[in-house]
Amino acid sequence: MGYERSRREPEWARSCRVAGRHDEVDLPTFQVGGWYDIFAQGTLDNFTAMRRAGRSATLVMGPWSHANQQHVIGDVNFGFSANSAFMGMRGPLNGLQPDWFQRTIGDGEAPEPDTGKVQLFVMGVNQWREETEWPLSRAVDTDFHLRADGRLTPEPPPVAEQPEQFTYDPMDPVPTTGGALLLTDDFRPGPSTRGTWRRARTSWSSPPNRSPRMSR
C-alpha cells in the first residue's frame, strides 16, 4: 500500500485493512511474530481476532525483532533453542510452515478440522512453550500504580501523595536505546542505562519479585 496514496485516499486505505473484518477471511492463518518486533501487537491481535471469528489460527512468537530471527537479539543471548533454525529442536521455522500448508491445503482434499497451535518463547527461562490459546485463560490481570519517588506498586497511592512531574518536549526527545522497533541492530534490547540517557527521565520500578512471575 503506497503511503502517499493512503494519505490522498483514506477510504482506499481503509479498504486494504483487515482490522475489524476478520470474519470476512474464511481461511486458516499462520501468524509469526517476535516479542521485539514493532508489529508484535498486530500479530497477536490478528491471531485473537481470527480465533474469535471461529477460524483456524496458528501462532508462533519468538524472542525476535522484525528482521532478526536468530538467538542473539541485541545484547541478549537467548540460547540456540531460540533460533528460528532450531525452535527448541522442533525443527526450523521454515519447515513448520510447509507442514502447516500440507495440513491446511493438502492434496486438494478437505483438510481435517484444526483449531491451530500456539508456540510461545518465554524469555527469562528461555524455553518454548506449547499452548492452545492466546491470551492464556489462566493468566491473572494485576494492576500496578505509578507512585511518587519512582515506585511501582499494586497498592494505589493515597490521595495526599504528591504526583510525579516531567516535561514533555517533542523537540528534545529522549534518545531511543532499543526495544520493539523497525530499525537496525544499533537500536536493540538491552539495559536502559546503556548509551545516551537523560538524568531527567522519569521511570518507575516495582520491588523485586519473591517468586517467578511471567508477564505479557
Cell 474469535 locates to 52
* Distant-in-sequence, close-in-space partners of 75: CB < 8 Å, separation ≥ 6: 188, 189, 190, 191, 194
pLDDT of residue 47: 97
The count of other CB atoms within 10 Å of the CB of residue 178 is: 22
Residue 169: pLDDT band by 50, 70, 90 thresholds? confident
User: Lowest-confidence range among 85-94, 174-183, 190-199?
Assistant: 190-199
| 68: its cell numbers | 532478526
Contact 188, 74 (CB under 8 A): yes
Reported as half-sphere exposure (CB side, CA atoms, 13 A), residue 178 has a value of 20
Higher pLDDT, 138 or 165: 138
Q: What is the pLDDT of residues 11-47, one digit of tens each?
A: 888 888 888 899 999 999 999 999 999 899 999 999 9
What stretches of the chain adopt beta strand conformation (E)? Answer: 29-36, 57-65, 72-73, 76-77, 118-122, 127-131, 145-146, 152-153
**CA dist., res. 62 & res. 83, Å (int):** 8
pTM of the model: 0.83
User: Is 190's pLDDT higher than 60?
Assistant: no
Instruction: Quote the mean pLDDT of the chain.
Output: 85
Contact 76, 190 (CB under 8 A): yes
135 preceded by a cis bond (ω within 30 of 0): yes
